């Protein structure tokens, strides 16, 4: 610690706000007594904190909104999407098993070669 704490300011701050007044001792004591007399059961585990009956929600919160697909889409885009059906995908020419094997072999060889060159570059 570098030194004693400066005294607390009672004047308005530089932003024009006045610091809040501490509560009177009698009100503070009454509030403290009320919290002591109210039994408070602490949750035993994090799972217990999260557990709620199905469909139950706190009374002070409204339900979460449901997502509507493309709801905030611009009207021009909505009209275009409704007018044009999606084109059917073009059929691809099938590969023979030998062509697929050759392609996968080339991919594996390239991967091995790249890893070997990276390892060689790290060593030097």
Domain membership flag for residue 55: no
Domain membership flag for residue 114: yes
Q: Would you state the pLDDT for residue 15? A: 65
Q: Would you state the pLDDT for residue 88? A: 79
**What would the pLDDT profile of 90-105 be if each residue is shown by its tens digit?**
877 888 999 999 999 9
Q: Would you state the pLDDT for residue 106? A: 97
Domain membership flag for residue 108: yes
Q: Domain containing 102: what range? A: 98-123
Domain membership flag for residue 88: no
Distance (Å, rounded) from C-alpha 6 to C-alpha 26? 28
pTM: 0.28
Domain membership flag for residue 110: yes
Task: Determine what percent of the chain falls in helix, strand and coil, rounding each to the nearest 5.
Answer: 45, 0, 55
Domain membership flag for residue 107: yes
Count of domains forming the chain: 1
């Amino acid at each position: 610690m570098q030194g004693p704490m400066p005294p607390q300011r009672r004047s308005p701050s530089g932003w024009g706000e006045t610091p809040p007044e501490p509560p009177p001792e009698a009100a503070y004591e009454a509030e403290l007594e009320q919290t002591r007399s109210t039994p408070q059961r602490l949750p035993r585990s994090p799972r217990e904190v999260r557990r709620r009956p199905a469909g139950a929600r706190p009374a002070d919160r409204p339900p979460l909104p449901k997502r509507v697909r493309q709801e905030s889409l611009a009207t021009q885009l909505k009209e275009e999407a409704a007018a044009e059906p999606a084109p059917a995908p073009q059929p691809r020419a099938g590969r023979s098993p030998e062509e697929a094997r050759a392609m996968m072999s080339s991919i594996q060889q390239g991967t091995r070669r790249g890893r070997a060159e990276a390892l060689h570059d790290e060593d030097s």
